């Protein structure tokens, strides 16, 4: 048994895999000294032990042993606890372990079992404490070191976790699961080369180890070696054809490559294996939206709310499903990133026909930019205590309102720059006689797939060579470190240090955009700000882009002033920027 895995995460032989390790002899070998011995022995047969025998006899319908007969061995008592756990009776398993500890204080097997149960329940600090107690009496048990690693990883202590993995391997180098788990721990720290080596060792020991192939594939994706990753995913599926996560992640990889039909087939296969897999539903929904199938995509996207770690707000008040709201207050709850909020706030005016007061719950850093947005009666923050009658997650509005490509609310502008800030920037930028182009190249690095959507600043060089063009950097935060080595050669004016330093996102950026001739950007929130303001914006897109940009079109129904420039080959930006430079050169000025 293995835990559920995130899209690019690795699977481990975790707490609930103790039985797997035991079958390979690790736990049993360390406890052979108990074989044939009664718990406590005849002279230590305490009231705790008698109570234990009574409980076990009642629970498992066995006849209590008479005094003077052979007593059950400790491994047999531990096996009863594991049987209860396997049957799903966690309370009974915990009771047996605790009664074993009452009869034999400090017994490592019972502490180990309780530690594994704590891991399964998400009580990782308790698990660490129990497993360390077990290690005190069994310091050379590789299973204990392995499972302590699992708790430490969840507690955010990767260096200690890796040390536990290495100690487990020293004690049992022949076990492929331990090498696999070391690879998992290393991958989580970004040590992809070392992780790959660990998975390779696991596979050398057990070539048919499906989880190791799966984990290796995810590591190869992170390292950008996608051809090899596809082969590893397919091998994992050959070995475990009912592994929905392998189908799901292969689908993500194929989607990234623009092989959309094959990707859809893999998401279908994942859901054939597990119809309740919210992650696969979410991924299939996003692919359908990318393909323009809004009728199927938006309803299925509701599965996102079942994902572990779903970031949307959920309240005791009812979630709005489209029923009448006359005289009531509806709270729209922002989801996902700042750019997503800026895109979806366009839906607020459509709620006017429901005659409700509309409150928008969003990060306070966006309040200044969104002040005055149509259809919003009040901007609020999560947990502010402001009363309301119903709520709706922002990305559920397209489903409730029946959005299609033909009916999506595409009117701009729906945001405006603060006039005072715009007036401050206007004279300075008006003095520039060049074609003034604001640029941004780097998105949020924590976003999955950012490496494929963000653009190295050096790729903008063809734009700097267009006669009469001048570049102005709007890039703040990550990515800005690329500017100093290139600013002089590309004649880039860096405006970013003077933008949005008062805690309000994009307010100065929006003011600057009003005085620029054009914005050229990668797929970041900057694109949404420019599009919502109705200023000309050209967007550089990866080969298979985010769902909202659709496929095979140069226009954008969400933002009429936006023009899309797409990669013609996976990962190749040079053609994109050659196209942008040619389009700039052809502008009438």
**426 and 368 within one domain:** no
Is the model more confident about 256 or about 86?
Answer: 256
**Spatial distance between the Cα atoms of 469 and 490, rounded to a whole number of angstroms:** 11
* Per-residue b or e along 462-472, where b marks 16 or more CB atoms closer than 10 Å to that residue's CB: bbbebeebbbb
Instruction: Identify the pLDDT of residue 355.
Output: 92
At 26 the pLDDT is: 28
Intra-chain end-to-end CA distance of the chain, in Å: 66
Tens of pLDDT, residue by residue over 197-212, are 999 999 999 999 999 9
Q: Is residue 507 situated within a structural domain?
A: yes
Instruction: Identify whether residues 35 and 148 lie together within a single domain.
Output: yes
Spell out the residues 6+ positions from residue 275 whose beta carbon is closer than 8 angstroms to its own: none
Domain final position from 240, 268, 295: 240
Domain range holding 105? 15-240
Look up the CATH number of the domain holding residue 84.
1.25.40.10
Does residue 19 have a pLDDT over 70? no
461 neighbors 451 (Cβ within 8 angstroms): no
Nearest of 518, 430, 533 to residue 474 by alpha carbon = 518
Same domain? 206 vs 133: yes
- The residue with greater pLDDT, 50 or 159, is 159
319 in a domain, yes or no?
no
The three-point CA angle 580-585-589 to 5° equals: 120
For residue 318, being part of any structural domain is answered with: no
* pLDDT over 50 (residue 7): no
Q: Are residues 38 and 80 in the same domain?
A: yes
Q: Are residues 82 and 195 in the same domain?
A: yes
Strands 518-521 and 329-333: unpaired
Are residue 288 and residue 356 in the same domain, yes or no? no
Q: What does the angle CA 144 – CA 150 – CA 154 come to, to the nearest 5 degrees? A: 145
Residue 5 burial (10 A CB sphere; 0-12, 13-18, 19+): buried
Confirm whether 306 is domain-assigned: yes
Judge if 231 and 373 occupy the same domain. no
Q: 246 and 229: one domain? A: no
Tell me which residue has tokens 């599009």. 531
What is the predicted pLDDT for the residue at 522?
A: 98
User: What average pLDDT does the structure give for the chain?
Assistant: 88
The predicted structure's pLDDT at residue 46 = 42
Q: Is the pLDDT of residue 42 over 80?
A: no
CATH number of the domain where residue 452 is located: 3.40.50.2000
By the 8 A CB rule, do 361 and 332 touch? yes
* Mean of pLDDT values over 183-202: 95
Q: Which of 5-19, 201-215, 394-408, 514-528 has the lowest mean pLDDT?
A: 5-19
DSSP 403: -
As a whole-number percent, the residues of the chain with pLDDT over 90 amount to 78
For helices 124-137 and 108-120, what crossing angle results, to 10°? 160
- Select from 508, 474, 473, 509 the least CA-distant residue to 491: 473
Does residue 67 register a pLDDT over 60?
Answer: no
DSSP assigned state of 298: H
Query: Which residue in this structure is represented by tokens 């396997």?
Result: 86
Residue 31 sits in the same domain as residue 176: yes
Three-state SS across 528-569?
Answer: HHHHHHCCCEEEEECCCCCHHHCCCCCECCCCCCEEEEECCC
Q: Alpha helices, DSSP H only, in 104-141?
A: 108-120, 124-137
Give the pLDDT score at 8.
33
Query: Residue 414 domain-assigned?
Result: no
Is 48 strand, coil or helix?
helix
By three-state DSSP, how is residue 73 classified? strand
Residue 5 lies in a domain: no
* Rounded mean pLDDT, 567-576: 96
Contact 172, 160 (CB under 8 A): no
- Check residue 401 and give its pLDDT: 97
| CATH code, domain with 378 | 3.40.50
Chain-centre distance of CA 503, in angstroms? 26
> Which residues is 518 bridged to in the sheet?
437
Closest CA to 545 of 450, 470, 475: 450
Q: How sure is the predictor about 21, in pLDDT bands with cuts at 50, 70 and 90?
A: very low
Residue 290 and residue 348 in one domain: no
Is 409 inside any structural domain? no
pLDDT of residue 54: 52
Last residue of a domain, which of 218, 240, 262? 240
How far, CA to CA in Å, does 278 sit from each of 71, 107, 251, 301, 307? 49, 41, 14, 9, 6
The tokens for 179 are: 């090498």
Q: What is the largest CA-CA distance in the chain?
A: 104
What is the count of structural domains for the chain? 4
Give the whole-angstrom CA distance, residue 330 versus residue 488: 51
Query: Do 236 and 251 reside in the same domain of the chain?
Result: no
In this prediction, residue 447 carries a pLDDT of 85
Summarize the confidence of residues 21-45 as an average pLDDT: 31
Give yes or no: residues 103 and 48 share one domain: yes
Q: What is the pLDDT of residue 65?
A: 31
CB atoms within 10 A of CB 235: 20
- Region 412-419: mean pLDDT is 97
Question: Is residue 568 in a domain?
Answer: yes
User: Which pLDDT tens digit goes with each residue over 108-137?
Assistant: 999 999 999 999 999 999 999 999 999 998
* Per-position DSSP letters for 189-208, written without gaps between them: TT-HHHHHHHHHHHHHH-TT
Average pLDDT over every residue of 379-394: 94
Contact 214, 199 (CB under 8 A): no
Do 4 and 276 contact (CB within 8 A), yes or no?
no
- b/e 125-161 (16+ beta carbons within 10 angstroms → b): ebbbbbbebbbeebeebbbbbbbbbbbbbbeebbebb
Query: Cis omega (within 30 of 0) on the bond before 478?
Result: no
Domain closes at, from 188, 211, 240: 240
């Amino acid at each position: 048994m293995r835990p559920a895995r995130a899209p690019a995460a690795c699977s481990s032989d975790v707490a609930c895999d103790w039985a797997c390790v035991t079958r390979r002899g690790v736990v049993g070998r360390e406890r052979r000294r108990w074989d044939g011995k009664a718990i406590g022995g005849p002279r230590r047969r305490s009231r705790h032990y008698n109570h234990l025998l009574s409980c076990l006899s009642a629970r498992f319908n066995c006849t209590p042993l008479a005094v003077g007969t052979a007593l059950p061995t400790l491994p047999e008592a531990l096996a009863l606890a594991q049987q209860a756990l396997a049957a799903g009776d966690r309370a009974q398993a915990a009771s047996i372990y605790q009664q074993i500890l009452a009869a034999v204080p400090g017994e490592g097997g019972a502490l180990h079992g309780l530690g594994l149960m704590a891991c399964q329940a998400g009580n990782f600090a308790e698990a660490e404490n129990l497993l360390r107690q077990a290690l005190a009496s069994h310091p050379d048990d590789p299973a204990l070191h392995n499972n302590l690693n699992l708790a430490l990883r969840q507690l955010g202590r990767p260096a200690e976790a890796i040390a536990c993995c290495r100690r487990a391997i020293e004690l049992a180098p022949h076990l492929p699961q331990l090498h696999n788990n070391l690879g998992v721990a290393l991958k989580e720290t970004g040590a992809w080369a070392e992780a790959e080596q660990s998975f390779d060792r696991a596979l050398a020991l057990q070539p048919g180890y499906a989880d190791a192939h799966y984990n290796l594939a995810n590591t190869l994706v992170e390292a950008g070696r996608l051809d090899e990753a596809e082969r590893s995913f397919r091998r994992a599926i050959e070995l475990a054809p009912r592994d929905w996560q392998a189908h799901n992640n292969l689908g993500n990889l194929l989607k990234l490559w623009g092989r959309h039909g094959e990707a859809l087939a893999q998401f279908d296969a994942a859901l054939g294996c597990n119809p309740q897999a919210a992650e696969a539903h979410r991924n299939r929904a996003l692919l359908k939206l990318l393909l323009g199938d809004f009728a199927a995509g938006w309803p299925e996207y509701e599965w996102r709310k079942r994902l572990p770690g779903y970031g949307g707000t959920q309240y005791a008040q009812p979630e709005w499903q489209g029923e009448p709201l006359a005289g009531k207050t509806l709270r729209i709850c922002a989801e996902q990133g700042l750019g997503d909020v800026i895109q979806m706030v366009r839906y607020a005016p459509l709620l006017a026909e429901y005659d409700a007061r509309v409150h928008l719950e969003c990060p306070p850093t966006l309040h200044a930019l969104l002040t005055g947005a149509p259809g919003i009666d009040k901007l609020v923050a999560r947990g502010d205590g402001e009363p309301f009658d119903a709520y709706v997650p922002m990305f559920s509005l397209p489903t409730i309102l029946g959005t299609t490509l033909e009916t999506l609310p595409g009117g701009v502008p729906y945001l405006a720059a603060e006039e005072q800030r715009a007036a401050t920037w206007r004279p300075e930028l008006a003095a520039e006689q060049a074609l003034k182009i604001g640029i941004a190249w780097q998105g949020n690095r924590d976003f999955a797939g950012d490496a494929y959507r963000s653009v190295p600043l050096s790729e903008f060089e063809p734009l700097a060579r267009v006669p009469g063009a001048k570049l102005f950097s709007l890039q703040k935060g990550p990515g800005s470190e690329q500017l100093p080595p290139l600013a002089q050669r590309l004649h880039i004016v860096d405006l970013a240090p003077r933008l949005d330093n008062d805690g309000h996102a994009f307010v100065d950026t929006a003011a600057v955009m009003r005085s620029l001739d054009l914005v050229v950007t990668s797929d970041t929130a900057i694109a949404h700000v420019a599009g919502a303001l109705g200023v000309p914006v050209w967007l550089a897109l990866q080969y298979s882009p985010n769902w909202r940009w659709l496929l095979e079109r140069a226009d954008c129904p969400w933002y009429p002033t936006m023009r899309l420039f797409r990669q013609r080959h996976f990962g190749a930006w040079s053609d994109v920027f050659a196209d942008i430079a040619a389009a700039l050169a052809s502008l009438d000025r």
